[in-house]
Amino acid sequence: MRFLASCGVKVNRPNSRRYTGSIPSLPGIDVLFQRTADITTKVEEGSAEMGVTGYDRLMEYRHDDDSVIPVMEDLGFGGCDYVLAVPDSWLDVTSIDDLADLALEFHERGRQLRIATKYPRLLRRYLFERGINYFTLVPASGTLEAAPIAGYADLIADLSATGTTLRENRLKILDGGTILTSQACLIANPSALAGCPADLELARSLTEMLEAHLRADPYYRITANVQGRSADDVSAMILARPEIAGIQGPTVARVFSVEEEDWYAVSLLIRKNRLLDAVSHLRECGGVDIAAAQLSYLFKGESQAFAGFMDRIASLNGRRDHHA
Ligand SMILES: Nc1ncnc2c1ncn2[C@@H]1O[C@H](COP(=O)(O)OP(=O)(O)OP(=O)(O)O)[C@@H](O)[C@H]1O
Ligand SMILES: O=P(O)(O)OC[C@H]1O[C@H](OP(=O)(O)OP(=O)(O)O)[C@H](O)[C@@H]1O
């Protein structure tokens, strides 16, 4: 909700018990509040055309690669890794290769390694790809970190962000044991949207707002007044340090001052981590009134995310026509 509001698409929800809402700046969009675990399926079956959920949930729950696809994979929040973790006390097991050996050892002794997880599909595929074939998955939906202590599994595959929960439960991540890196993503059902131009237009607007906001985030717009003989002179001074001269070079415009001096307004977009470098450079160029402002949006010629989504729809239609 905070992320959408920061993108200028604030969601109105009458109260926390109401499971529907609206976006006043994009009339025509109905918002459905669902559990993160259910969102992929809701979008896949078409009860919602788009959704926001963790990439982990998308990859685990979708039934095929075409029915629900990510439009934007990195919304910049909800970052976590899906990892394999074993008890700290397993001193000889530190990597995924050690785990492969252990699985074999267990098997030879007539036992199976038990792994508790909420994402069996992702985990099974990951283990098979690494030649680990002997294991039993123990399905669990929460507080997995307690499984080895409680005794219902030998190790776990679960989400970790700061690593605190694993540490507190005396577990360690295996080297090479990151199964998936995830963050919140925007997903959509291509066939549901392809059939309705009005919905597709709303999907485009929503994607544009999110994408342009995320694209703007790493930058400040800096403005300053610089004295000089001509606009060319001023821009040459600024461009002497190309790495802090803006993403496309500075915009330089004459200031019509009452003092009849030759002042120019300079405006540039710079990466946030170069702010003080850019300020020093502008000062060296004689800049005054140096101001930096947070950008809300940065639009390109077209939304790359939406163009990618449309390409995907086109290739699905192509395949469908081919089969017909
Ligand atoms: N510690 C974390 N830090 C950041 N993001 C996380 C973290 N844990 C999980 N996530 C992301 O948030 C999503 C939802 O988290 P989680 O699986 O804990 O569900 P939940 O909050 O318990 O929701 P519910 O039980 O209501 O379905 C995950 O699928 C993952 O993408
Ligand atoms: O690495 P950390 O920062 O400690 O985060 C990891 C924990 O966060 C998630 O749980 P969440 O808080 O969402 O609770 P839940 O899964 O029990 O609902 C995840 O399932 C881990 O238990």
Tens of pLDDT along 73-98?
999 999 999 999 999 999 999 999 99
Q: What value does the mean pLDDT take over residues 12-30?
A: 95
> By the 8 A CB rule, do 262 and 274 touch?
no
CA–CA dist 121, 271 (Å, integer): 40
Distance 289 CA to ligand 2 centre (A): 47
**Are 316 and 175 found together in one domain?**
no
Residue nearest to atom 15 of ligand 2 (CA): 142
Ligand 2 site-directed mutation target among 36, 80, 172, most atoms within 8 Å of CB: 80
Share above pLDDT 70 across residues of the chain, in percent, rounded to a whole number: 99
Distance 165 CA to ligand 2 centre (A): 7
The one-character DSSP state at 154 is S
User: In the prediction, which pLDDT does 210 show?
Assistant: 98
CA–CA dist 146, 215 (Å, integer): 40
**Are 86 and 129 found together in one domain?**
yes
CA–CA dist 96, 173 (Å, integer): 10
Share above pLDDT 90 across residues of the chain, in percent, rounded to a whole number: 88
**Are 56 and 70 found together in one domain?**
yes
**Are 15 and 162 found together in one domain?**
no
Q: How many CA atoms lie within 13 A of 218 on its CB side?
A: 8
**Are 91 and 157 found together in one domain?**
yes
> By the 8 A CB rule, do 225 and 255 touch?
yes
Kindly indicate the confidence band of residue 324, based on its pLDDT and cuts at 50, 70 and 90.
low
Q: Closest ligand to 34 CA?
A: 1
**Are 69 and 189 found together in one domain?**
yes
Nearest atom in ligand 1 to the alpha carbon of residue 183 is: 31
- Ligand 1 site: residues with CB under 6 angstroms? 35-37, 54, 56-57, 78-80, 159, 161, 182
Q: What value does the mean pLDDT take over residues 196-221?
A: 97
Q: Closest ligand to 158 CA?
A: 2
**Are 69 and 209 found together in one domain?**
yes
Q: Closest ligand to 33 CA?
A: 1
User: In the prediction, which pLDDT does 171 show?
Assistant: 98
Q: What is the pLDDT of residues 32-52, one digit of tens each?
A: 999 999 999 999 999 999 999
Q: pTM score, two decimals?
A: 0.91
**Are 12 and 152 found together in one domain?**
no
Q: Which residue has the higher pLDDT, 259 or 3?
A: 3
What CATH number is given to the structural domain containing 239? 3.30.70.120
Q: What is the pLDDT of residues 251-280, one digit of tens each?
A: 999 998 777 678 999 999 999 999 999 999
Q: What is the pLDDT of residues 220-243, one digit of tens each?
A: 999 999 999 999 999 999 999 888
**Are 309 and 194 found together in one domain?**
yes
DSSP line for 211-261: HHHHHHTTEEEEEEEEE-S-HHHHHHHHHTSGGGS-TT--EEEEE--TT--
Residue 234 belongs to what domain range? 219-294
Ligand 2 site-directed mutation target among 36, 141, 160, most atoms within 8 Å of CB: 160
Q: How many CB atoms lie within 10 A of CB 109?
A: 8
Nearest atom in ligand 1 to the alpha carbon of residue 78 is: 5
CA–CA dist 16, 150 (Å, integer): 35
Ligand 1 site-directed mutation target among 36, 117, 164, 181, most atoms within 8 Å of CB: 36
Q: Is residue 213 pLDDT above 80, yes or no?
A: yes
Whose CA is closest to 69, among 80, 57, 58? 58
User: In the prediction, which pLDDT does 321 show?
Assistant: 74
Distance 266 CA to ligand 1 centre (A): 45
**Are 175 and 192 found together in one domain?**
no
Query: Please, where are the H alpha helices in the chain?
Result: 2-6, 36-45, 55-61, 96-108, 120-129, 147-150, 164-168, 190-194, 197-216, 231-239, 275-284, 304-323
> By the 8 A CB rule, do 304 and 257 touch?
no
Q: How much is the ipTM here?
A: 0.93
**Are 201 and 312 found together in one domain?**
yes
* Sequence-separated (6 or more) residues with CB below 8 Å from residue 166: 83, 85, 145, 158, 160, 172, 173
What pairing do the DSSP bridges indicate for beta strands 263-271 and 136-139? unpaired
**Are 86 and 167 found together in one domain?**
yes
What CATH number is given to the structural domain containing 108? 3.40.190.10
**Token digits of residue 174:** 């295996």
Q: What is the pLDDT of residues 214-225, one digit of tens each?
A: 999 999 999 999
Q: What value does the mean pLDDT take over residues 112-126?
A: 97
Buried b (16+ CB within 10 A) or exposed e, 250-277: bebeeeeeeeeebbbbbebbbeeebeee
Based on the structure, what is the number of domains in the chain? Answer: 3
